[in-house]
């Protein structure tokens, strides 16, 4: 239980920051439509690599269900967070060219070079934001606005989440 305490604190703090800070920032109607940072997928991305997929999916389901209840998402957080959990190993392989099934899994995220870690986080957040905004709009009528919203929100999320990732991988995992 002790080795999972940092993950519990990470989950609670990221959800609290998301619910009470990031979702309540009002930058004006013209900017808030384009930029909606979401950092809670970090919890799923930073879970121990050696966990079986079923546990990662279960944790992401519970976390997304809590977010749906807190934010009134009507299931959108569950629908969009589960594929991120499912494709986590694929994203890690694409970013690092390392298989998650290798015997040397302990502290894999802490040992990744910064570029590969950034690519892993960026690709995963791009996947999440793409799924979220496509499911939210369910329309291709304004495709350029959809693409701009995905890219701007992903970029903002990466900027906000990168210090959290570095701190967590260096102090807790590493």
Helices (H), the chain: 5-20, 29-32, 41-45, 53-71, 76-86, 88-96, 108-111, 114-137, 143-167
Pick from 98, 142, 128: which is nearest to 116 by CA? 98
pLDDT digits (tens, 9 = 90+) for 114-127: 999 999 999 999 99
Question: Which residue, chain included where needed, has tokens 């990744």?
Answer: 112
Identify the pLDDT of residue 145. 92
Identify the pLDDT of residue 51. 86
Identify the pLDDT of residue 73. 87
CA distance 50 to 99: 11
Cβ 135 vs Cβ 143: under 8 Å? no
Is 90 exceeded by the pLDDT of residue 140?
Answer: no
Cβ 114 vs Cβ 169: under 8 Å? no
On average, the pLDDT of the chain sits at 87
Is 90 exceeded by the pLDDT of residue 6?
Answer: no
Encoded tokens for 111? 């040992």
Is 60 exceeded by the pLDDT of residue 106?
Answer: no
Is 70 exceeded by the pLDDT of residue 52?
Answer: yes
């Amino acid at each position: 239980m002790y080795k999972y305490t940092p993950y519990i604190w990470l989950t609670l703090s990221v959800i609290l920051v998301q619910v009470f800070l990031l979702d309540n920032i009002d930058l004006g109607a013209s900017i808030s439509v384009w930029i909606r940072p979401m950092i809670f997928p970090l919890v799923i991305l930073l879970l121990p690599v050696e966990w079986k997929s079923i546990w990662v999916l279960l944790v992401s389901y519970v976390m997304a269900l809590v977010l749906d209840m807190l934010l009134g998402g009507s299931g959108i957080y569950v629908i969009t967070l589960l594929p991120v959990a499912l494709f986590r190993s694929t994203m890690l392989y694409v970013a690092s060219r390392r298989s998650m099934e290798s015997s040397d899994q302990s502290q894999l995220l802490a040992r990744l070079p910064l570029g590969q870690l950034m690519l892993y986080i960026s690709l995963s957040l791009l996947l999440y934001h793409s799924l979220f905004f496509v499911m939210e709009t369910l329309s291709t009528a304004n495709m350029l606005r959809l693409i701009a919203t995905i890219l701007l929100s992903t970029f903002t999320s990466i900027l906000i989440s990168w210090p959290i990732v570095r701190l967590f991988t260096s102090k807790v995992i590493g």
